[in-house]
Structure 1
Amino acid sequence: MNTVVRERVGAVGVIRINRPQVRNALDPDTLLAMTDALLGYDADAGVRAVVLTGTGELSFSAGMDLRAAAEGRLVDVARSPLTLLRGGYRKPVIAAVNGPAVGGGFELALACDLVVAAEHAYFALPEVGRGIAATEGGTDLPRRVPVAVALELGLTAEPLPAARAHELGLVNAVVPADEVLPRALQLGARIATHSPAAVRATKRLMHLSLDPRVGDLGAVNRLATLELLAGPDAAEGAAAFVAKRAPRWADAP
């Protein structure tokens, strides 16, 4: 059985963690397959957005496969999908959180650009109970939620219900379980109607605005504007508006 399943729904690529028997835990083979799938979709001009989800309703992902870790089977961090997602992956990624997202599963959701969660889902960082720390995104939580909330999640390992995650702004929508994937696909399809170049630029610039290492954000934004104006999509967008027709965007990845 493939531990990662790829599917295409129109212009949206789907990556599904397919290890329901272990609550979609992440062993090295699964992580590498996820990275391969992400790289494949990044290179495919026909894919405009990506949805990441899990099989079944019991779990989005339980995080690191502890049996594999106990056997010393760990993935090279440089080849981890978390490293790829957090390192400037160009296309929008939507997490369809079909069940609990725990440890590395929570960090996967955090690494995505948008999150749709099932009503029964929850998020948790149990790493302190395993003698480790959630250093692949969990320790960045103070950038996303109040520090006191982040510390409570990280230090107590108590779960955060999906509804509370929505209140805190970690989740875009909370829906019944059978609507999670359709809602995520709907978001992806909506993104796919827009200029790929402008979507990539908007995602990059918004993430850069959170990076304290970036100096003159105004200059970065002005340069991005000039680059977009020099490309074909800006002219096509204006022409389509005047002609009252749907734009025909360039397909270059």
Structure 2
Amino acid sequence: MPDGSSGVSLPVLLREDRDAVTTLTLNRPAARNGLSLALLDALRAELERIAADNAIRCVVIRAEGPVFCAGHDLKEITAHFGDADGGHAFFADSMARCARVMQAIPALPQPVIAAVQGMATAAGCQLAAACDLVIAAEEARFCTPGVEIGLFCSTPAVPLARAVPRKAAMEMLLTGEPIGAEEARRIGLVNRVVPRAALDGEAAALAARIAGRSALAVQLGKRTFHRQAGLPLEEAYAAATAAMVENLLAEDAAEGIGAFLAKRAPEWKHR
């Protein structure tokens, strides 16, 4: 696929499978890993493959170069201002493709970890916020600067407002000012902050730890967590109670409880 910046044919997304962990690497460093249509389509295709692969139990999303992701590819967007419809069809298609990717991440059975090494801007911040967990390098920055160019970050606001307190999200959206990794951790956007040299190792270690759990329990738990979060309290408890009963009936629950009582390591069947 063309990388959209130099005309050279390069894969815009790299995939590496190691044990039960898949690492997806945004690979448009010369374009600040902007979310071109090609990159969005590649992400969606890989997420669909991963969702259907029971051997994969955790996913890491990382990026090449100094920038994690600068958001939508503004050069690609600008090229359509002169369309007969003013760019309406292209803009609608681009935003819809992006929304499908961002929704596919929480819907993915496997947990997803973002490893953010640099700036995550606009839809790049959206991508990080959509992930289940975020590990950031000390120099990482997060911002939703659309307001500075007359384009409010309405779609990045969706996962951002679900990841951090409302007023913290609104301050980021209204000012467009970047926040550092430690501030992002303080407000709940980031789980851990580590030195840059330790970032990939920390993400891999966390992914391996998650992958070592019962896949059935983790996947059921992720699905239930996202479902109950949008429900009123009584309905949330009903959904969570049903999930607990379903989980208790699984082979892995009997194995895990038995192993705990016997003080031995469990042997997961992932069912």
Deviates more, 1:155-164 or 1:124-133: 124-133
Deviation at 1:192, TM superposition (A): 0.9
Which of residues 12, 20, 23 in structure 1 aligns to 2:21?
12
Counterpart in the other structure of 1:59: 67
Residue 77 of structure 2 is aligned to residue 69 of structure 1 = yes
Higher relative contact order (CA 8 A, sep 6+): 1
- CA–CA distance in 2 between the matches of 1:44 and 1:34? 15
CA contact (8 A) 2:13 2:39 kept: yes
Counterpart in the other structure of 1:119: 138
Counterpart in the other structure of 2:50: 41
Q: How does 1:1-253 map to 2 (within 5 A)?
A: 1-56=10-65, 58-72=66-80, 74-75=93-94, 77=96, 80-86=100-106, 88-139=107-158, 141-212=160-231, 216-251=235-270
CA contact (8 A) 1:111 1:137 kept: no
Equivalent AA in structure 1 for residue 269 of structure 2: A
2:193 alignment partner, SS class: strand
Alpha carbons of structure 1 residues 43 and 142: separation in structure 2 relative to 1, 3 Å: closer
Equivalent AA in structure 2 for residue 91 of structure 1: Q
Equivalent AA in structure 1 for residue 169 of structure 2: A
Equivalent AA in structure 1 for residue 254 of structure 2: A
Task: Give 1 or 2 for the bigger CA radius of gyration.
Answer: 2
Alpha carbons of structure 1 residues 16 and 71: separation in structure 2 relative to 1, 3 Å: same
Deviates more, 1:130-139 or 1:191-200: 130-139
Alpha carbons of structure 1 residues 71 and 194: separation in structure 2 relative to 1, 3 Å: same
- CA–CA distance in 1 between the matches of 2:159 and 2:42? 25
Deviation at 1:78, TM superposition (A): 5.2
CA contact (8 A) 1:139 1:154 kept: no
- CA–CA distance in 1 between the matches of 2:220 and 2:190? 22
Instruction: List runs of 5+ in structure 2 lacking aligned partners.
Output: 1-9, 81-89
- CA–CA distance in 2 between the matches of 1:148 and 1:192? 34
Deviation at 1:11, TM superposition (A): 1.2
2:62 alignment partner, SS class: strand
Deviates more, 1:26-35 or 1:195-204: 195-204
CA RMSD of aligned residues (A): 2.1
1:233 alignment partner, SS class: helix
TM-score, normalising length: structure 1: 0.90
Equivalent AA in structure 2 for residue 37 of structure 1: E
- CA–CA distance in 1 between the matches of 2:31 and 2:52? 31
Deviation at 1:251, TM superposition (A): 4.3
Deviation at 1:59, TM superposition (A): 0.5
